[in-house]
A and B are shown apart, each in its own frame.
Chain A
Amino acid sequence: MSDPILEMLAEEGMAHDAELSSLLFAVRAEATRVRPLPSAAVAALMPARPGGTVRRAHRGRRRVLTGLIVLGSLGIGVGAAAASPDVRTATQHFAQTVLGALGSGGEPSAPHPAPHRPAGVPQPFSTGFPEHPVATDHPGAGKGNTDISHVPGSGAPTTFAGTGSPSPHATPSPQGSGKSHHP
Chain B
Amino acid sequence: MGSDAEKSEEDVLAERFSAAYRQLSPRVLGYLRLHGVDDPESVTQDVFLALYPRLPAVIGGEDGVRTLTFSIAHARIVDHHRARGRMPALVPFEPDSDPRQVVSAEEVHAAMVGDQNTLALLRRLGDDQRQALTLRVVAELSLEETAQIMGRSVGSVKQLQRRALEALRSIVSEEATYE
Q: Residues on A close to B: CB < 8 A?
A: 4-5, 8-9, 11-12, 14, 17, 19-20, 23-24, 26-36, 38-39, 41-42, 45-47, 50, 175, 178-179, 181-183
Contact = CB atoms under 8 A, between A and B. Distances in A.
Query: Which bucket holds chain B's interface residue count?
Result: 35 or more
A102 B14 CA distance: 64
Contacts of A35: 25-26
Q: Determine chain A's interface SS by DSSP, over half rule.
A: helix
Interface stretch (B77-85, B86-94, B95-103, B117-125): B117-125
Interface of B: 10-11, 13-15, 17-18, 21-22, 25-27, 29-31, 33-34, 41-42, 44-45, 48-49, 52-53, 115-116, 118-119, 121-122, 134, 136-138, 140-143, 158, 161-162, 165, 168-169, 172
A183 B53 CA distance: 7
Given A30-B119, A42-B49, A47 B14 contact: yes
Given A9-B165, A20-B169, A31-B119, A36 B26 contact: yes
Contact of A27 (B18, B52, B121, B140): B121
Contacts of B134: 31
Given A23-B118, A30-B116, 13 more contacts: A4-B137, A8-B161, A14-B165, A14-B169, A19-B172, A20-B169, A28-B137, A31-B30, A36-B41, A36-B45, A42-B48, A45-B49, A178-B14
Given A4-B136, A20-B169, A31-B33, A26 B118 contact: yes
A179 B48 CA distance: 16
Nearest to A47: B14
Contacts of B18: 46-47, 50
